[in-house]
């Protein structure tokens, strides 16, 4: 038996409202809430409808809507509003429309922020579900359903697959140290690779291998601390550390089915000295899987 958690859609909870584009709801959210929510919705446990709202009246209203929807359709399992996939789609929507959403943003209502974020996620869920409709597949055809599920989840294969993904994160962190060591060893193995190594190091705004390893090690330690405390923000004052982090920040994040641009730029800035992560796993992966593609790109120049 395949256990699939249902994602709530806009029409499920607000059937009498006319749905608007995702960007419309996000444009009603304050700049601070938009930026901080990217990292927040990648913490564990992932927020759901029953702990989304700080205003008790709004919380009760939304919970009643969900209860009515579940009762009318005789659904007994608890549905979700936010998933790992929808959290990344949300991050992509904000970062790819930063000029429209963040500049000259004067929104300043916590209640409005939460409701519009909630509705935006419902719309993202609808979009995600519509992209995964299985046409001409009999529900009894187990093998086809498995094949389709693998295809649909392939873009998210770099994410932690369990609710408590701390062990997966530790394994990835540990393995990446050895992979980076092997990668640098390869680049040092032949004199004609040294220019390639130098260009690779410069892509991280560092000039030496020692500095690269030192900055990477410090960042991994910070990520371990953040993950362990379920946090996602940290301040940086050192100019060299900021330059290193800025190499993984982009103001031009275009939407992509496989989240390639977010994977290449897994960190973003909230303020000049305040950084946040798009996804913990993507930051670690930047130093090996994404690094291999970067070296290939540099080699083919």
* pLDDT tens, residue by residue, 25-54: 999 999 999 999 999 998 888 899 999 999
- pLDDT(1) > 60: no
Q: Is 5 a member of any domain?
A: no
Q: Inform me whether the pLDDT recorded for 144 exceeds 50.
A: no
Residue 1 lies in a domain: no
CB contact at 8 A, 237 and 273: yes
| Residue 172: pLDDT over 80 | yes
Q: Higher pLDDT residue, 169 or 258?
A: 169
Q: What is the CA radius of gyration of the chain?
A: 21
Asked if the model's pLDDT at residue 300 lies above 50, the reply is: yes
Q: How confident is the model at residue 23 (pLDDT cuts 50, 70, 90)?
A: very high
65 and 184 co-located in one domain: no
Residue 33 near residue 117 (C-beta atoms within 8 A): yes
pLDDT of residue 70: 97
Backbone phi, psi, residue 276, to 5°: -145, 165
**In the predicted structure, residue 5 carries a pLDDT above the cut 90:** no
Query: Does residue 18 sit within a domain?
Result: yes
Which residue range forms the structural domain that includes residue 266? Answer: 166-299
Alpha-carbon distance 233 to 245, whole Å? 13
* Residue 147 belongs to some domain of the structure: yes
Stretch 126-147: mean pLDDT, rounded?
61
172 and 137 in one domain?
Answer: no
The reported pLDDT for the residue numbered 3 is: 46
d(CA 278, CA 201): 23
Looking at the fold, whether 206 and 134 belong to one and the same domain comes out as: no
* CB count in 10 Å sphere of residue 67: 10
Query: In this predicted model, which residue has the larger pLDDT, 278 or 1?
Result: 278
Domain count, the chain: 2
Q: Are strands 233-235 and 267-271 parallel, antiparallel or unpaired?
A: unpaired
Residue 231 resides in a domain: yes
| Lowest mean pLDDT across 2-6, 208-212, 269-273 | 2-6
Position 113 in a domain: yes
CA triple 281-203-185, angle to 5 deg: 75
Q: Please, which residues have CB within 8 angstroms of residue 7's CB and are 6 or more apart in sequence? A: 79, 80, 81, 83, 86, 125, 128, 129
Please tell me whether residues 88 and 210 are part of one structural domain.
Answer: no
pLDDT at residue number 90: 97
What gap in Å lies between CA 211 and CA 241, rounded to an integer? 10
pTM: 0.87
pLDDT band at 145 (very low <50, low <70, confident <90, very high): very low
Domain boundary among 103, 135, 156: 156
| Host H or E run for residue 123 | helix 110-130
Which position has the token pair 């004067």? 106
% pLDDT > 70, the chain? 88
Same domain, 185 and 281: yes
Mean pLDDT computed over every residue of the chain = 88
Centre a 10 Å sphere on the Cβ of residue 57 and count the other Cβ atoms it contains. Answer: 9
Mean pLDDT of 274-279: 96
Structural domain ending residue among the three candidates 104, 132, 156: 156
Residues 228 and 286 in one domain: yes
274 C-beta neighbours (distance < 10 Å), count: 13
pLDDT at residue 143, rounded to an integer: 52
Q: Which pLDDT score is estimated for 2?
A: 42
Distance (Å, whole) CA 234 – CA 276: 7
106 in the same domain as 185:
no
Q: 218 lies in a domain? A: yes
- On whether both 42 and 112 belong to a single domain, the answer is yes
My answer on whether 130 and 183 are in the same domain is no
């Amino acid at each position: 038996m395949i256990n699939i958690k249902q994602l709530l859609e806009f029409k499920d909870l607000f059937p009498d409202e006319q749905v608007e584009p995702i960007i419309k709801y996000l444009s009603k959210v304050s700049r601070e809430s938009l930026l901080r929510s990217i990292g927040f919705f990648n913490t564990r446990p992932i927020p759901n409808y029953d702990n989304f709202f700080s205003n008790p009246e709004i919380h009760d209203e939304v919970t009643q809507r969900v209860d009515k929807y579940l009762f009318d359709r005789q659904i007994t399992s608890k549905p979700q509003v936010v998933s790992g996939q929808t959290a990344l789609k949300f991050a992509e929507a904000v970062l790819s429309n930063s000029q429209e959403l963040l500049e000259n943003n004067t929104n300043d209502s916590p209640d409005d922020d939460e409701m519009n974020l909630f509705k935006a996620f419902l719309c993202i869920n609808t979009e995600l579900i519509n992209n995964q409709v299985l046409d001409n597949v009999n529900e009894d055809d187990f093998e086809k359903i498995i094949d389709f599920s693998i295809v649909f989840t392939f873009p998210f294969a770099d994410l932690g697959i369990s609710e408590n993904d701390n062990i997966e994160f530790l394994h990835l962190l540990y393995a990446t140290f050895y992979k980076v060591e092997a990668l640098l060893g390869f680049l040092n193995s032949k004199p004609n690779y040294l220019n390639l190594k130098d260009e690779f190091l410069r892509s991280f705004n560092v000039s030496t291998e020692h500095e690269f390893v030192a900055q990477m090690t410090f960042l991994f330690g910070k990520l371990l601390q953040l993950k362990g405390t379920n946090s996602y923000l940290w301040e940086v004052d050192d100019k060299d550390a900021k330059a290193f982090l800025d190499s993984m920040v982009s103001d031009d994040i275009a939407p992509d089915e496989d989240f390639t641009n977010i994977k290449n730029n897994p960190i973003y800035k909230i303020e000049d000295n305040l950084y946040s992560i798009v996804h913990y796993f993507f930051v670690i992966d930047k130093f090996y899987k994404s690094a291999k593609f970067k070296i290939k790109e540099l080699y083919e120049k």
